[in-house]
Structure 1
């Protein structure tokens, strides 16, 4: 997320951003600032269309909707999150340095140290860099002693804001890898953990298996019973699979009705058995609408299973599991196929 606006443009977008945040009664935190600055600038057509559509249908934006818009149209993993935090840190720095200057106290050494740290807030800043810089700032603040009560209060406020930024950063980082509907990992979270698991399997020479599961004829559920029922079915499937795994195993929603189950330290036969047990669990379910008791019929899933080959590209690993799933679908659905 890089901005090349002129100073005049930036001022105009800032004014519009604050007006829009106030108009919709939202907190002026980094996430909302980012969303509405993008909206005000008009640079993100997909985001603007999504906001306009939502406002037209409901007239208001909730905090949850704002997070969904951010994750869908702006977020680019931790790079965007650290960019937001970096900009907030710059603002806090300005307040600290201003406080030092206006007290007319001899804090030139601390002021220079803080300005040096501020200069390190570059666009390429990593998450690890942010953590390191935050620690440096807090150490520098702690070293500043003054008899000025107002100055101490300003430093305490800056320390509190930095702590709050760390909490926000952790929350945004978590939300960026979570599916807002099912509250399990999304594709971004899955791909990150898949890379980590594959690296571990290659280094430690341990087994790693992947199951790709897809709800059979899910479109029929939506067409017959509506999207609200379809959403509840997706939540139920996610919760049921999550309850079927344990330890370091992971389930993620990687597509509309497609789920990935990552199984570290699990042999191929164990993955096949788990997939078939989950398949039978759904096959035996008697699904009914909560509010009416109407029977929804049988819900089945198809499964593809693959075992990781040492030093294999993760895309190839996923492709083989997808190919196994494709064979299960072609064989009549409600089946488990391994490759």
Structure 2
């Protein structure tokens, strides 16, 4: 058995052992997560399971399914469809080129046959065989021409499907209300950032902000969800307008937003947090339909700088804890999550 096959079967054996150890059914999703873990094929899955093992936490079906849907299913399916269509498009393009070449050669061949037939007829020596070959050549030319048109139609359909897949993927990664990134897209980008830092692909620091609208429930209760939705759209717009380059604003859930800040130091993140707080506070909120003023909103922000080799869930938890501290401290302020177990430091803007 080759070393590659041996490693493959070792991974399968370890996967089955883990399923037995944790009393889990060998369903495809759970098998896939453990297989990826033992194959060391996804750093976030590896870190999440290793952390649970170190802490002695039970690894149950719910946790593994969460890892599967978060890190495997969406990306795997999209990549599979894209690669399949790209491969099919390549086959069609190569076929079109081959058919174009054949069509050109047939044209030349048919022209030679016609010239030969004309010479023979001029000399009084017509050839039935030559005439038949010329006639069949014309038929083949028509068949090739029809096939070329069909391939061109297929190529256009593939291009349309690729465009639709791109649109569908963008829609699946965009929040329907606020039009910023959704939580799935946030988690994908965060995973990639963590991996780049851990693997030394990007030595620049990055920070995460978790942002919550203060007293938003009271606004919904008092003015209704339609006004609440308008406020969410407005706040999302302010956040998106005042970030730069590779920064990403995502709607994390409800009235909570997440802002990923690649190549950003903690000091730079603090400056941005203060600026965003000021801009939101200064913006008067009016209903689109009636123009009624609802005053202004404030936001609370938790900020964490990524520490190499911590998990993506860890930095989210640290930023969320800092956000909670900011709200407990009186809202309309930001709170810094200190590295690891350090207590957040609350700073009023």
Q: TM-score, normalised by structure 1?
A: 0.61
Equivalents in 2 of 1:130, 1:316: separation in Å? 37
Name 2:43's counterpart in structure 1. none
Instruction: Answer whether contact 2:209 2:319 (CA < 8 A) is retained.
Output: yes
Q: Which secondary structure does the structure 2 equivalent of 1:150 belong to?
A: helix
**Aligned pairs, number:** 223
SS in 1 for 2:142: coil
The superposition leaves residues 273-324 of structure 1 with CA deviations (integer Å, 9 ceiling, x where unpaired) of 2111111211222222233232212311110000000121111011100110
Q: Distance in 1 between matches of 2:91 and 2:212?
A: 48
Instruction: Map residues 1-339 of structure 1 onto 2, 5 A cutoff.
Output: 77-81=74-78, 125=80, 127-144=82-99, 145=103, 146-148=141-143, 149-202=145-198, 203=200, 204-339=202-337
- CA spacing shift, 1:150–1:127, aligned 2, 3 Å: closer
Q: CA deviation at 1:80?
A: 4.4
- Aligned-pair CA distance for 1:126: 5.8
How many angstroms does 1:332 deviate by? 1.5
Query: What is the CA deviation profile of residues 245-281 of structure 1, one whole-angstrom value per residue up to 9, with x for unaligned ones?
Result: 1111111111111111111111111111211111121
Contact 1:186–1:254 at 8 Å: present in 2 too? yes
Contact persistence 1:195–1:314 (CA under 8 A):
yes
Q: Secondary structure at the match of 1:287?
A: coil
Whole-Å separation in 1 of the counterparts to 2:310 and 2:162:
36
Kindly report the root-mean-square deviation, in angstroms, between the aligned alpha carbons of the 2 structures: 2.0
Unaligned runs of 5+ in 1: 1-75, 83-124
Name the residue aligned to 2:44: none
Give the superposition deviation at 1:173.
1.3
Please tell me whether the aligned partners of residues 190 and 252 of structure 1 are also in contact (alpha carbons under 8 angstroms): yes
Is the CA contact 1:141–1:159 (under 8 Å) kept in the aligned structure 2? no
Residue in 2 that maps onto 1:44: none
- Secondary structure of the equivalent of 2:294? strand
Query: How many Å apart are 1:81 and its aligned residue?
Result: 4.5
Contact 1:212 1:260 in 2 (8 A): yes
Q: How far apart are the structure 2 equivalents of 1:316 and 1:126?
A: 32
Q: Compute the TM-score of the two structures, normalised by the length of structure 2.
A: 0.60
**Partners in 2 of 1:266 and 1:159 — Cα distance?**
44
Please identify the structure whose Cα radius of gyration is greater.
2
Task: Report the secondary structure of 1:183's partner residue.
Answer: coil
- Given that 1:205 and 1:310 are in contact with CA atoms closer than 8 Å, whether structure 2 keeps it comes out as no
CA distance in 1, matches of 2:228, 2:297: 12
